[in-house]
Every structure is written in structure tokens, then in C-alpha cells.
Amino acid sequence: MLEYGNINKLEVIKITDIAYTLSDGINEVFLHFNQSLRELNVGEVVDAFLYYDQKKRLCATLETPIITSTKYDFVEVVGINSAGVFVNIGIAKDILVSKDYLPKFEKQWPRIGDKIPCIIKAKTNQLVAKILEPIDLISDQLEINNEYNGIVTQVLYNGINICTSNYQMININKNLLRKQYHVGESITFKVTAQKENIYNGTTIEQKEKARLQDSDYILDYLRKMGGMIPLGNQSSPEDIYRVLNMSKSAFKRSVGHLYKLKLITIEDDRIILIEE
């Protein structure tokens, strides 16, 4: 059986004016000369990657793909349209990551130039790339309380999933994030726990550092908003998170710090920047 989206050992059985004909003894596949890399002879056995061309015809290439249906790796996003994003897998044809595998909102999709970890999935007359999920991986150990870098692979309702360069998967709850992310974005995080084949993490540093960072963020936001934010002592946690992307407890610690420095005044429904 031919393995679409993978490398097959096939024999050259015929040479025409434009292509070689390859066979596994039962099925035949065309290998165009421009996908051969070198001159072949009848009877020679080659390692050929099988894919579908623009007209959904099965073709072969001797180019070595970065990913296959059994091998995952990071691949670069090279195009975007309404159907999803296209990634360069190292052959002449770019492969689609369908919007079915991407977040609902396009602003959370990868950008051109981002690298995302993918594996090939074979569908009827089509190959697609699928972003890795925790169930796809069994990875090496990470150290609890250590910091690591990774790439956002999923934007979920309650947080994000991250993949490291060594393919460890980490989940971060939205309450432990300091901003909104898109798939393919680089992120630095700290590992906090492990559960089966996925880790938990956080982007929030120790409370003191976080308080100072949050205070600076609120101060900058006040300046951008002309010296007033419609949030105060009586604001709901939901309103605070919507505007500043932080919890109410973090908000109270930060504005308390700014108040002690005499940089703001606090009312029930607003914060006002004191003239500097």
C-alpha cells in the first residue's frame, strides 16, 4: 500500500518525455523530472515522498520533506487565506493548515514567518498539516519552577497550549497570562506542575515583581488614555480583566502601590493620574 504524505520505496519502471513512472509493484506514480533532483535509471529504487498537486493528482518528489505523516517538526508559515495558513514543508508545494485546526478568530492565527510544530494528515485527494496537540507527543522531562521558551500552539477558551523546541507541551490558564497571544507566538514561561504528558505553567513572576510590572503597565495605560481609566474600587473582576487583562487582586495591589507613590487618586469607578 502506498503511504500518502510519507516516504515510500518505489522502483523506476518507465521513463517518458516529461517524467519517470514509479511503482510499488501494484500502483504507479509519476515523478516529474523537476522533482527528481538527479537522473534516474529504469530498475533503480528511490525514496519518494508522495503528495497531491494543485489538481489533486498523486505525485512523487525526491525532495526530503521537513514533516511527514509519521514525523513532526517546526515549519514556517508562508501564506494565509480564508481556508487557513500555508506552511513550507521543504518541497515544491506548500501545505495547508486548515482553519479547522486553527482558532475561531483569525487574529489568533499564526503570522507569516512564524514557525509552528506540525505533522501531515492525509485526507481524500489532499494532504494537510495539523498543529501538534498534547496527545501527539511523549516528551522529555521539564524541571518544575524552571523557566523555558516555547511556541503557542493552541489558543483555548481558558488559556493557551505551548510547545517547546524539544516538543514538551505546557498549558497555561488564562488567569496566569499577562496578555493575549496568537498561535505561533514565542513565549517565556515557568513550569509549575506536571499532569500526565502535559505540564502546567505561568507567565506571572513572583508577586513583588508582578506588582511592579503591573503598576508600570497601569501607569503607561493611564498616560495613553489621557490620565483616566474607568476602573476603580467598585469595578467587577470581569471589567478589570477585560480592560487590563489582570485579576482584581493584582489590580488592587498595583493601584495601591501607585497610590502610595502619590501618582494616582482612586475613586469607586475610576482612577485618575496625578499631574507629573
Same domain? 46 vs 81: no
pLDDT tens digits for 192-237?
998 877 899 998 765 556 667 788 889 899 998 989 999 988 899 9
The CA-based angle 159-164-170, given to 5 degrees, is 30
Q: Which of 131, 157, 181 is the last residue of a domain?
A: 131
Same domain? 145 vs 185: yes
- What average pLDDT does range 65-90 have in this prediction? 96
Least confident among 50-59, 151-160, 183-192 = 50-59
Position 98 in a domain = yes
pLDDT tens digits for 116-171?
999 999 888 889 999 998 777 766 688 888 999 999 999 998 999 999 999 999 99
- What average pLDDT does range 71-90 have in this prediction? 96
The CATH number assigned to the domain holding 29 equals 2.40.50.330
Domain count along the chain: 4
Position 185 in a domain = yes
Look at residue 12 and give its three-state secondary structure.
strand
Position 66 in a domain = no
Same domain? 147 vs 127: no
Position 100 in a domain = yes
pTM, two decimals, is 0.73
Position 227 in a domain = yes
Domain assignment of residue 28, given as a range = 7-61
Closest CA to 86 of 111, 108, 66: 111
The CA-based angle 268-272-276, given to 5 degrees, is 155
Q: All 3 cell numbers of residue 206?
A: 513572583
The CATH number assigned to the domain holding 140 equals 2.40.50.140
Q: Are 12 and 44 in contact (CB under 8 A)?
A: yes
Q: Which of 202, 237, 255 is the last residue of a domain?
A: 202
Give start and end residues of each alpha helix (H) in the chain: 207-224, 237-244, 248-260
